[in-house]
């Protein structure tokens, strides 16, 4: 029954996208066969008034009709230009996560249920909502501690949002499985894995204790950084459904007129933003992954304050080293080293030729370096890089795509502040400094120390590994002698699971097909 429900919800979502002109706005001139027919049918069923809107506006209207979980889906897909393409990713990134506020009484009930205390005991005053998004809304409040009144922001989870999201998630998985089955070229992009990542990131985002922990970690990492910080968390007033943090008095980074009127140096803010992001990424391996201008404030002294840390990214030490070398290789035009790093990281399958890949990388880097420095776009570089990696069978790396998306957004924000912004010149001091500290003699000593620790840990596990190896050897000998066998219970379970999967998949496809026929018949 869940497959049937997922099928109906998928049909409804597709119908809304058709009626709002989203499908018709996609480039369909190069399609052929059944996809071309579907695109033409979508144009016939598009609302007439929708044809007057731009593609981004059509998308926004469709997502609003579909509800909060689709807003979150759209924002997540904006982080995956490798999946939806750069143009659509930019449209999705412009989705306004502004929803209707829910009643203050419901917010109070959620706070009291989460923290087990009355709102009057927690806050000296609790105001109305000042902003509402797909997952939560924010209220102003005041706390009284040691006789001092402090203004705070209180973020409260939207009632029922978890149930709604996980219900819609079933249809996302159904769409991903159908895509993998019927569009072989999409398998490289791992749509089911992408959907699993969406499920995991949204689960994290819906537990505000984890966002509070992210604020705490980023705050510790940046406590000595010049010109950047995050708000402090009030842990006493934070739980799964409520997050209380310091109120930020500042000007939003998208208010260019306000920043100018306040006398801020926009070029300095742009450089500080990009260098801060690279510092967090390379030095700490932990970065704010939703740095659009609505989440960034500038205080009176020019300090950038980042809020809304529901989406964060992590890179291991090895990935940071590869990232730094790839960026530095593009900066210094060492394309051979950029190619070698891709192979060392395992990003490109070994059957390909390093020199051929270096040639493809050169085809990306040289046209960009031939332009004036201030016109070099990270977005353009990444678009070309996605095209090249497709030719060389490079599988999607979710952590790198999130990083690349955030880098594009940060660059875009910097260019709104400084149209002549030079991404490479601004990045070079941070990247080259990190390389000098982490790829020199000191780094070799650190790698040797890590290697010694790993060997020591392996030595401690040697007795257990030996016992496992002996058991495995005996089992292999038995299989070689008697063959691989399942007991009767296991065989029945496998058969039952396979039959259920096949039956559910076929049933869902029939539901979708019959629903589309019914809709078309009603309209004729």
Helix (H) or strand (E) holding 258: helix 256-261
C-alpha distances out from residue 89 to 40, 82, 433, Å: 23, 9, 32
Question: Which is nearest to 8 in space by CA: 171, 162, 179?
Answer: 171
Torsion sign (Cα): 387, 392, 394, 400? negative
Q: DSSP letter at 248? A: P
- The phi, psi pair for 130, rounded to 5°, reads -110, -15
In the set 168, 290, 418, 447, the catalytic residue is 290
Alpha-carbon distance of 288 to 406, in angstroms, equals 8
Q: Find tokens 């309209």 and name the residue.
A: 523
Task: Assign 474 to helix, strand or coil.
Answer: helix
Question: Which is nearest to 141 in space by CA: 164, 125, 155, 129?
Answer: 125
C-alpha distances out from residue 231 to 27, 220, 246, 309, Å: 43, 11, 5, 10
146 has catalytic annotation: no
Angle between helices 398-417 and 266-279 (to 10 degrees): 170
Q: Find tokens 């940046």 and name the residue.
A: 222
List CB contacts of 111: < 8 A, sequence separation 6 or more. Answer: 119, 122, 154, 156, 241, 242
Burial of residue 352 (CB within 10 Å: 0-12, 13-18, 19+) is: middle
Alpha-carbon distance of 219 to 204, in angstroms, equals 19
Count other Cβ atoms within 10 Å, centred on residue 331: 17
Catalytic residue positions, numbered? 290
């Amino acid at each position: 029954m869940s497959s049937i429900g997922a099928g109906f919800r998928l049909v409804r979502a597709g119908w809304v996208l058709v009626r709002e002109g989203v499908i018709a706005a996609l480039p369909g001139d190069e399609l052929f066969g059944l996809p071309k027919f579907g695109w033409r049918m979508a144009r016939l069923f598009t609302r007439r008034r929708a044809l007057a809107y731009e593609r981004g506006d059509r998308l926004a209207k469709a997502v609003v009709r579909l509800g909060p979980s689709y807003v979150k889906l759209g924002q997540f897909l904006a982080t995956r230009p490798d999946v939806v393409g750069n143009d659509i990713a930019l449209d999705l990134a412009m989705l306004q996560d502004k929803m209707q506020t829910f009643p203050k009484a419901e917010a109070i009930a959620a706070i009291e249920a989460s923290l087990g205390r009355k709102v009057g005991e927690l806050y000296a005053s609790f105001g109305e909502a000042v902003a509402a998004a797909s997952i939560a809304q924010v209220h102003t409040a005041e706390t009284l501690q040691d006789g001092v009144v402090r203004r705070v922001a209180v973020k409260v989870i939207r009632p029922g949002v978890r149930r709604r999201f996980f219900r819609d998630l079933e249809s996302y998985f159904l769409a991903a499985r159908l895509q993998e089955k019927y569009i072989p070229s999409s398998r490289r992009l791992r749509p089911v894995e992408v959907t699993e990542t969406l499920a995991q990131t949204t689960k994290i985002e819906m537990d505000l204790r984890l966002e509070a922990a992210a604020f705490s970690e980023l705050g510790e990492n940046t406590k000595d950084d010049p010109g950047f910080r995050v708000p402090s968390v009030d842990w006493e007033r934070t739980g799964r459904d409520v997050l209380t943090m310091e109120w930020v008095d500042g000007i939003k980074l998208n208010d260019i007129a306000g920043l100018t009127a306040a006398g801020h140096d926009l070029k300095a803010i742009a450089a500080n933003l990009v260098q801060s992001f690279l510092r967090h990424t390379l030095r700490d391996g932990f970065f704010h992954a939703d740095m659009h201008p609505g989440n960034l404030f500038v205080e009176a002294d020019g300090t950038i304050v980042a809020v809304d840390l529901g989406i964060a990214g992590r890179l291991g030490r090895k990935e940071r080293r590869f990232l730094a070398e790839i960026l530095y290789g593009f900066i210094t035009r060492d394309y051979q080293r950029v190619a070698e790093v891709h192979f060392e990281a395992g990003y490109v399958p070994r059957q390909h030729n390093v020199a051929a890949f270096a040639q493809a990388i050169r085809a990306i880097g040289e046209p960009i370096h031939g332009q004036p420095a201030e016109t070099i776009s990270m977005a353009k570089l990444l678009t070309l890089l996605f095209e090249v990696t497709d030719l060389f069978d490079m599988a999607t790396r979710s952590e790198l795509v999130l990083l690349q998306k955030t880098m594009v957004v940060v660059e875009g924000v910097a260019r709104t502040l400084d149209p002549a912004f030079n991404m490479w010149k601004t990045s070079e001091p941070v990247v080259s400094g990190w390389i000098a500290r982490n790829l020199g003699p000191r780094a070799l000593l650190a790698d040797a120390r890590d290697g010694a620790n790993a060997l020591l840990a392996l030595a401690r596990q040697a007795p257990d590994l030996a016992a496992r190896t002996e058991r495995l050897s005996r089992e292999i000998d038995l299989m070689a002698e008697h063959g691989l066998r399942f007991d009767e219970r296991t065989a029945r379970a496998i058969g039952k699971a396979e039959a259920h999967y096949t039956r559910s998949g076929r049933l869902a496809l029939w539901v979708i097909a019959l629903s589309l026929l019914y809709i078309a018949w009603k309209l004729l």
